[in-house]
Amino acid sequence: MLGVSYLLIVYFQYRLLFVQHYESLYTGIIAALCCIAGIWAGVEITRKIQKKSETLPLVPPEKDHLVPDPSNLNHLNISPREHEVLVLMAKGHSNQEIAEQLFLSLNTIKTHASNIFMKLDVQRRTQAIQKAKELGLLA
């Protein structure tokens, strides 16, 4: 792309105007500098992104053993009903399935799920399941 651009510019300059070698030189230098700067920026960008994605997911330390700790239920203010939903969620059931098993509405399950996520400070159910296991909220 840049090669073609450069040649085009030079060609038109030469044909339609008059020969200005220093202009061509300037343009070429700028093009080269920008290329280098761009490549450097690209490399840096990807490196930064890498670092972010590498440091974050590595943080959670692997727990040796999961010790059920019911006290966390009280501490986190997880209500009995919410815990019930959490257990079924951890079993891989969908909200719809949970609703049917508990004879509740899908909206109710969503509400419970949202509250659970809030209390566990997570965004997704996969994270909730993990965190719940870490905290000993599940079998």
Q: How far apart are CA 75 and CA 52, in angstroms?
A: 32
Binding at 35: pick from DNA, its own copies, none (beta carbon under 5-8 Å per type): its own copies
Q: Quick one: which of 18, 55, 65, 67 contacts its own copies (CB under 8 A)?
A: 65
Chain residues 104-123 in contact with its own copies, contact rule CB under 8 A: 122-123
Q: Cβ closer to its own copies: 56 or 74? A: 56
With binding defined as CB under 8 A, does residue 40 bind its own copies? yes
Between 71 and 105, name the residue whose CB sits nearer to DNA: 105
Closer residue to its own copies, CB minimum distance, 68 or 74: 68
Rule CB under 8 A: which residues touch its own copies?
A: 1-2, 5-6, 9, 23, 26-27, 29-47, 49, 53, 57, 60, 62, 65, 88-94, 100-101, 103, 122-127, 129-130, 139
